[in-house]
């Protein structure tokens, strides 16, 4: 069984109660583990801090979610793929190769480069642009957004 790569937009729905959280939970429970990257840890911290600053979550909940996230990494359910310099070169190539209307963002390009480097086939995302870019490079995409 090939394990999927779950980007930050999808993973957030596992830790925060929002649209498509139940679908993400069902998807994740179908696997003994899933791949993320070291970049996901940085993005998750940023996402939670942004939600706290906007008043969507409390400082206490932010801390609880971060601890749960780190626990999931420590126990091996979330398998964090390290970010390496060669992946940045691949990200640059993807940004130059993919059609301009996709508007591939920097961190999305890095996620896709990590997925390619790890030779994974499936990406789970809640981001339309990321889904389009992933399909463009031949990945199977599991979507967690309407439409």
Q: How confident is the model at residue 23 (pLDDT cuts 50, 70, 90)?
A: very high
Q: How confident is the model at residue 101 (pLDDT cuts 50, 70, 90)?
A: low
Torsion 145-44-38-89 (CA) sign: positive
Which residue, 125, 105, 109, is CA-closest to 12? 125
Q: Which of 28-37, 98-107, 131-140 has the lowest mean pLDDT?
A: 98-107
Q: Beta strands of 16-84 (E only): which ranges? A: 34-37, 78-81
Any idea which architecture 5-143 has in CATH?
A: 3-Layer(aba) Sandwich (3.40)
Q: How confident is the model at residue 126 (pLDDT cuts 50, 70, 90)?
A: very high
In the numeric block, which tokens belong to residue 15?
A: 């830790």
Which residue, 147, 140, 145, 119, is CA-closest to 9? 145
Q: Is the pTM of this model over 0.85?
A: yes
């Amino acid at each position: 069984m090939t394990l999927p790569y779950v980007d930050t937009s999808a993973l957030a729905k596992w830790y925060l109660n929002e649209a498509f959280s139940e679908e993400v939970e069902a998807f994740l429970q179908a696997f003994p583990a899933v791949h993320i990257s070291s970049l996901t840890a940085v993005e998750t911290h940023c996402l939670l801090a942004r939600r706290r600053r906007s008043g969507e979550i409390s400082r206490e909940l932010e801390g609880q979610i971060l601890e749960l996230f780190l626990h999931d990494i420590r126990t091996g359910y979330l398998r964090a793929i390290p970010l390496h310099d060669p992946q940045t070169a691949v990200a640059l190539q993807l940004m130059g190769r993919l059609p301009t209307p996709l508007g591939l963002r920097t961190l999305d390009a890095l996620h896709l480069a990590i997925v390619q480097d790890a030779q994974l086939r499936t990406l789970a995302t809640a981001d339309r642009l990321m889904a389009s870019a992933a399909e463009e490079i031949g990945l199977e995409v599991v979507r967690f957004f309407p439409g």
